[in-house]
């Protein structure tokens, strides 16, 4: 059975359009309750700062309580915070109301199991099958209860701070933090301040409509200006739900997820605590692979998507992986991608070594990477077309070991993504355009 509503990260869409409506949210809660806790249980519900979050929170609460499920409402908290608090409170499952790095017009609903991990495809399919049934309302004596748990956010703050390591704080560091006017706007600055850092907060004034709007990890321009402007040592930008982070060095230069992986991996290797390979994706920069190889660190590539990175880490018993976007998994610290925890690992390296972030990333040279989207009438496998195969072989021979070609159909739209990496930007761009033209011709 295929999944109609659940994508790679829960249900997501434009607010007011199916499925992101109040009636669907209530239906979804009732269906999830019947599948996940048929005899009753407890769910933790958290959200980011979107205006529509209040509406969906109320709908989910009603659906769960009517189905006999106790509800704990924790309010705005990063997605990884919900995963952690679901485990901490021994809840049967957790729900996050968020559309991550999207603008406020969108929203989404995703689930965690009791361990703080994502639901299996099989469970999501069973929930979808239950959507055909009307929402259930139990008799009064069997209804669930709803309670607020807002003040428990400090438990997540303490957990994040503890990942810095014993005897270490951030005193002496001036840090600019951009919370994307999203879920981390309270806990993010408080964690850094409690650890002794001097903080300059931006993107920490949500109004329900400004989440990810010209701020955060997807729009770090203001952070790049602010860090050197206030003479900070470093800056960090989260996305709207706090599971991604990019950083900015003291010169105002972006340090992306690949570079952060390099810094953390080197530190774990030197400490003797790195287990298994570091896992990236097919889109991770070739410079990361070569820099890790030079440091004696094994590197593997998974398909794009944090669930695939996680699956490969589990298969290889690794502890560190992530994506260029800044979605980093530190499995020796937590169960899911956590922007604050990942940033703290980098800040810990800076504090222990006394080195600037610019110096820590100097050992990794990012290769020029050109990504082109070729729109097609229907999705197809471009590598099965002889003319495309010949173009790929010609370009790969030209690039040698200092280049890479990736062709992949988009999972969400009729587009073939063409990516070429190489040492010299002009040649790389020309190769990408040649390959995109071959794909366009093959598409007719």
Task: Give the closest residue to 408 by CA, choosing from 434, 373, 442, 437.
Answer: 373
Q: Are 416 and 405 in contact (CB under 8 A)?
A: no
List Cα–Cα distances, 288 to 94, 218, 339, in angstroms.
34, 21, 20
Give how far the C-alpha of residue 57 lies from the chain's centroid of Cα atoms, to the nearest Å: 22
- Maximum distance among all Cα pairs of the chain, rounded to whole angstroms: 73
Q: Which residues pair with 302 in a beta bridge?
A: 281
Q: In what order do the strands lie in the sheet with 106-113?
A: 11-14, 106-113, 93-97, 42-47, 70-76, 146-148
CA separation for the pair 103, 116 (Å, rounded): 25
Q: Are 407 and 385 in contact (CB under 8 A)?
A: no
Q: Which residues pair with 330 in a beta bridge?
A: 320
Task: Give the active site residue among 30, 52, 98, 100.
Answer: 100
List Cα–Cα distances, 331 to 10, 31, 338, 393, 439, in angstroms.
21, 31, 10, 37, 39
Q: In what order do the strands lie in the sheet with 174-178?
A: 198-202, 174-178, 234-238, 245-248, 254-255
Look up 30 and say whether it is catalytic: no
Q: In what order do the strands lie in the sheet with 278-281?
A: 299-302, 278-281, 320-322, 328-330
CA separation for the pair 247, 177 (Å, rounded): 9
CA separation for the pair 403, 419 (Å, rounded): 11
Helix, coil or strand: residue 218: coil
Report phi then psi at 345, rounded to 5: -65, -40
Eight-class DSSP state of 16: T
Mark 224-256 as b/e (b = at least 16 C-beta within 10 Å): bebbbeeebbbbbbbbbbbbbbbbbbbebebbb
Q: What are the catalytic residues?
A: 100
């Amino acid at each position: 059975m295929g999944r109609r509503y659940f994508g790679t990260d829960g249900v997501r869409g434009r607010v007011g359009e199916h499925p992101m409506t109040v009636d669907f949210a209530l239906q979804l809660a009732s269906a999830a309750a019947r599948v996940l806790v048929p005899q009753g249980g407890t769910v933790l519900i958290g959200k980011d700062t979107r205006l529509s979050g209040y509406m969906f929170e109320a709908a989910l609460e009603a659906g769960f309580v009517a189905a006999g499920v106790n509800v704990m409402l924790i309010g705005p908290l990063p997605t990884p915070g919900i995963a952690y608090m679901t485990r901490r409170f021994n809840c049967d499952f957790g729900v996050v109301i968020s559309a991550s790095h999207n603008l406020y017009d969108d929203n989404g609903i995703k689930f965690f199991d009791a361990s703080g991990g994502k639901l299996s495809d099989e469970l999501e399919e069973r929930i979808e099958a239950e959507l055909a049934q009307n929402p259930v309302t139990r008799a009064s004596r069997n209804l669930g209860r709803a309670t607020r748990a807002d003040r428990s956010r400090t438990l997540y703050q303490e957990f994040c701070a503890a990942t810095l390591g014993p005897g270490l704080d951030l005193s002496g560091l001036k840090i600019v933090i951009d919370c994307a006017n999203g879920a981390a706007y309270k806990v993010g600055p408080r964690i850094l301040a409690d650890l002794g850092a001097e903080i300059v907060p931006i993107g920490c004034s949500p109004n329900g409509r400004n989440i990810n709007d010209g701020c955060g990890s997807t729009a770090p321009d203001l952070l790049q200006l602010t860090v050197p402007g206030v003479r900070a040592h470093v800056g960090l930008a989260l996305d709207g739900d706090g599971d991604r982070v990019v950083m900015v060095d003291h010169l105002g230069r972006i340090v992306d997820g690949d570079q952060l992986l390099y810094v953390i991996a080197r530190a774990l290797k030197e400490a003797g605590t790195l287990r298994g390979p570091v896992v990236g994706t097919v889109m991770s920069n070739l410079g990361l692979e070569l820099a890790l190889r030079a440091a004696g660190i094994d590197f593997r590539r998974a398909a794009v998507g944090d669930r695939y990175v996680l699956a490969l880490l589990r298969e290889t018993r690794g502890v560190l992986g992530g994506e260029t976007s800044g979605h980093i998994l530190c499995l020796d610290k937590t169960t899911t991608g956590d922007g604050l925890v990942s940033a703290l690992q980098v800040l810990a390296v800076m504090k222990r070594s006394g080195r600037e972030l610019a110096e820590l990333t100097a050992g990794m040279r990012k290769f020029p990477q050109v990504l082109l989207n070729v729109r097609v009438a229907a999705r197809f496998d471009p590598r099965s077309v002889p003319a495309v195969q010949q173009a790929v072989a010609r370009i790969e021979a030209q690039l040698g070991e200092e280049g890479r070609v990736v062709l992949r159909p988009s999972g969400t739209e009729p587009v073939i993504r063409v990516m070429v990496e190489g040492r010299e930007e002009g040649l790389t761009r020309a190769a990408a355009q040649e390959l995109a033209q071959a794909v366009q011709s093959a598409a007719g």
